[in-house]
Amino acid sequence: MSAAAPRTVLATWHPSEEELAALVAAAGPDAEVRVPDGPPGLSRYECDLASIARHLPATEAIVGWVLPRGALEAAADLRLLCWLHAGVDELDLAELGRRGVTVCNVRGANAPAVAEHAVALTLALAKRVPVKHRAVVEGVRVPLWEPGHQGAMLAGATATIVGLGQVGAGIARRLRGFEMRLIGIRRDPSAGGPVDEVRGPDGLHDALAESDFVILAVPITTATENLLGAAEFALLKPGALLVNVARGNIVEEAALAAALESGQVGGYGCDVWWNYTESFPATYHFPSPSRTGLHRSDAVVASGDQANNAAGVRERDIEFGLRSLRQFGAGESPELAIDLERGY
């Protein structure tokens, strides 16, 4: 890594005065900070290529939540990308690696909010809160103690948490108060975690067979895409509940829809949905969270990318990103630099 601080830093969002001041301070006195041209569109947290095109050729560092298509190619001098998300699956990591760009994410910035949201989905799913709320609104009596109408108990149940990073570990610490048995799955089991037992990826299938709840908090990579499909669902205890705050494409949608229909999976709670690429018909014709329609099922409790929509998360995203900018500018290896080959 070059010890020279970036001379030109580009924000790919429309910062407030306070945010811009923090960005200028982090960039240092010798850096020029640029922002998108013109007013924001639907959101100030994004921009299009046209609004930053004239800045890209001289840009050495980019900070933001979006990277418009074509921006990477135009930013020939780019040395640092401070990506204000934890997940980096939207980025062309191979090209960034080929060009020697340091990529930093903000892992941990939204971890408390996402962990809390995962527990909220778990409870709402287990206790059938949306269905019972709707019954109250509609004035419909819910039968007492009859199959299909009872909530699930967390106390005494086994939950497998796939991914024990900061989100997964946060989920485990919160679930421990419900007197659950907790199994964690992570790439390196020796790293441990706040669970009763940590297993490696090769222990996933055995853990599924023991689980009343499965919670996904793992990054999406080539190793985790379609991690759970028909074979995995068949291993679960009948009626086990699945919660996903990771990425939609970790779960095979058609297999999940079938498992929900049969009752093999008793319910699905999620804040993430599928990304349909190279699909026919093209995704933009169908702005639906699920092409199978499973989002309309009473067995599904869902939100749409709302786990990080909590007080203080935006500020933490920016704070973490600017910390990486300062460290890079000082000639240090940023703590939040990712491994481009692993994808996290």
pLDDT level of residue 267 (50, 70, 90 thresholds): very high
Q: Which residue has the tokens 């429309």?
A: 14
Distances (CA, A) of 198 to 51, 114, 178: 47, 21, 19
Coil, strand, or helix at residue 209? helix
In which residue are the tokens 């240090």 written?
A: 332
Distance from C-alpha of 21 to C-alpha of 24, rounded to nearest angstrom: 5
Structural domains of the chain in order of their starting residue, each with its CATH number:
8-109+311-329 (3.40.50.720), 111-302 (3.40.50.720)
Of all residues in the chain, the percent with pLDDT exceeding 90 is 93
pLDDT reading at 40 higher than 90: yes
pTM value?
0.94
Nearest in space to 22 (alpha carbons), one of 337, 343, 325, 330 = 325
pLDDT for 82 equals: 98
Task: Find out whether 143 and 132 touch, Cβ atoms under 8 Å.
Answer: no
What average pLDDT score do residues 31-44 get?
A: 96
287-294 contacts, C-beta under 8 A, 24 or more apart: 290/253, 290/257, 291/253, 292/253, 292/254, 292/256, 292/257, 293/257, 294/253, 294/256, 294/257, 294/260, 294/268
